[in-house]
Amino acid sequence: MKLIEHPDREALTLALAQDIADALGMALNTRDRAVLCLPGGSTPVPAFKALAAARLDWARVSVVPGDERWVPADHPRSNARLIRRNLIDEGASAAELVGLHHDMLDPVEGAAAAAARVGALLPLSVLLLGMGEDMHTASLFPGAAGLAAAMDSAAPAVVPITAPDGEPRVTLSAAALLTAPEAFLMITGPDKRAALDRAATLTPEEAPIRAFWKGLIVHYAD
């Protein structure tokens, strides 16, 4: 794991967006398509907007949420909606957004359908992760029902999981997320930094972000 500390969040945003754009550009030089996996939450939104301005062949980029609450794609809590509004609609309109939710299916059936879609896109080209103060990433929550299956090296690309608050979700499995040769983590604030330090001493089951430690580039600002 490599930690890069920035003087402020604006500097973090610009540096991270440039790193992702550079990694996507390199992927597009060697493959017909690049696959970008992005997190939800409010923290990465400025980076999405900055990345949207990158001069990339977006028509050759597929964008996948790393996880999804089991809500329709137009729901305010949808990660697909967040990505669409702050990346696709901001300048990356030619990119393909590959959602994980299906209106007619439950989370178990929907995860299987999404696994087929996402599995056909693997390996990922670039991965951006977020992290909670509990050291979860994507919807890989410590102690969650379904965590062991999601962390299994033989897991399908997308699996159902239940968040600690009981909310049904689907998430890319650790195996699918780990296919990305370029992986970044964006965190802000001293509480997240303290959580990152704690994760270094724990197992992936205790701190799921730990599963991505090798080669992970962390961008941090207070």
- Tell me the pLDDT tens digit for each residue of 123-160: 999 999 999 999 999 999 999 989 999 999 999 999 99
**Per-residue pLDDT tens digits for 29-72:** 999 999 999 999 999 999 999 999 999 999 999 999 999 999 99
Supply 153's token pair: 């090296």
Residue with tokens 């704690």: 198
**Residues facing residue 182 across a β-bridge:** 126
How confident is the prediction for the chain on average, in pLDDT? Answer: 97
CA-based angle 204:208:210, to the nearest 5? Answer: 60
Residue 169 near residue 201, CB atoms below 8 Å: no
Encode 61-80 in three state secondary structure. Answer: EEEEECEEECCCCCCCCCHH
In whole angstroms, give the CA distance from residue 133 to residue 196. Answer: 8
> Half-sphere exposure (CA, 13 Å, Cβ side) for 72?
4
What CATH number should be reported for the domain whose range is 2-221?
3.40.50.1360
**Per-residue pLDDT tens digits for 156-199:** 999 999 999 999 999 999 999 999 999 999 999 999 999 999 99
Q: Is the pTM of this model over 0.75?
A: yes
Which H helix or E strand runs over 126? strand 126-129
